[in-house]
A = this chain, B = another copy of it.
Amino acid sequence: MKQVIAVRTDLKIGKGKIAAQVAHASLAAAEEAMRSKPGWFESWKDGGQAKIVVKASDEGQLRDLFKKARSAHLPCAIIEDAGLTQLEPGTPTCVGIGPASDDSIDKITGNLKLL
């Protein structure tokens, strides 16, 4: 079991902000799993809650990943920035997918490079 978070690399944001956005995505997708797939969530948590952060090229790819995860019925969340500091309000920054089985997530994000 793992969780993958894809982050846009075409936005000019610092590593602290990237980390905060990734944490938003991780928590939001994990919360969805707690509700909709409690067994997956517990199994992931007990197994060390692996989190992998990968690169998405732009907004289009981010939305595409989110759609594919939804279609596959995986827990997922897309994060839009509140826009208070470095970005325009509503800018999507990252997508969290899982926790779910490695195989089911790899079908969606397996070709993306590590951030």
Contact = CB atoms under 8 A, between A and B. Distances in A.
Interface residues of A, number: 25
Interface in A2-32: 5, 7, 14-20, 22-27, 30
A77 to B, nearest CB: 12
A115 interface: yes
A52 interface: yes
Which of A17, A30, A53 has the most chain B CB atoms closer than 10 A to its own CB?
Answer: A53
A19 B23 CA distance: 7
Contacts of A51: 20, 23-24
A114 interface: yes
6 contacts: A14-B114, A15-B19, A16-B53, A22-B23, A23-B23, A23-B27
Given A19-B53, A20-B51, A27-B49, 6 more contacts: A14-B114, A15-B15, A17-B53, A19-B23, A20-B53, A26-B26
